[in-house]
């Protein structure tokens, strides 16, 4: 593959965004960043700003309050950008899907490239999903 694509797939920088979840998936995500699981071998780093990130990792069912903010963060990311939905709430809204103030899942608003199911997914599953995404 060409050089640019190789470079991007070898250093995916992540931005984590919680859209109103219970923080279970956030804790597992943060656990995946710890040295025990060592995601730096994939080149994964956690960034604080959407301007620096390649991949947006979203947890939580998207509530109506945070929908505008999520779009704002997504639009600030430079292309090529990808979205990873972590946890059942981000996939489909899970038990909150039909709630009156929930949009229900990230794919109602954003194009999602990788879905990682689980409630919460194990850190190994999160790393597996992100690694598979970088291989494409």
Nearest Cα to Cα of residue 89 among 68, 126, 67, 115:
115
CB of 68 vs another protein, minimal distance in Å: 9
Q: Name the minimum Å distance from CB 43 to another protein.
A: 38
Distance CA 42, CA 27 (A): 20
Our CB check for another protein shows the closer of 6 and 100 to be: 100
Instruction: Give me the least distance between CB of 64 and another protein, in Å please.
Output: 4
Residue 91 in 3-state DSSP?
helix
Closest to another protein by CB, 79 or 98: 98
Contact, 60 vs 88, CB < 8 A? no
Residue 70 vs 86, nearer CB to another protein: 70
Q: Min. distance of Cβ 81 from another protein in angstroms? A: 26
Residue 15 vs 102, nearer CB to another protein: 102
User: Which residue, 58, 74, 49, is CA-closest to 121?
Assistant: 58
Nearer to another protein by Cβ, of 40 and 68: the residue is: 68
The crossing angle, in degrees rounded to 10, of helices 24-33 and 123-135 is 70
The nearest distance, CB 63 to another protein, in angstroms, is 7
The site for another protein (CB under 8 A) is made up of 63-65, 98, 100-101
For 19, 56, 77, 79, 134, the CA distances from 72, given in Å and listed in that order, are 13, 12, 9, 14, 24
């Amino acid at each position: 593959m060409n050089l640019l694509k190789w470079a991007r797939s070898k250093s995916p920088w992540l931005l984590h965004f919680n859209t109103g979840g219970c923080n279970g998936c956030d804790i597992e995500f943060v656990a995946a960043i710890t040295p025990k699981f060592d995601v730096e071998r994939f080149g994964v780093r956690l960034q604080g700003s959407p301007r620096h990130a390649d991949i947006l990792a979203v947890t939580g069912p998207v509530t109506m309050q945070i929908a505008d903010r999520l779009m704002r963060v997504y639009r600030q990311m430079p292309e090529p950008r990808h979205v990873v939905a972590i946890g059942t709430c981000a996939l489909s809204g899970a038990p909150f899907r039909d709630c009156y103030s929930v949009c229900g899942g990230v794919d109602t608003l954003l194009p999602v490239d990788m879905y990682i199911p689980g409630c919460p997914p194990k850190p190994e599953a999160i790393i597996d999903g992100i690694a598979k995404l970088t291989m494409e």
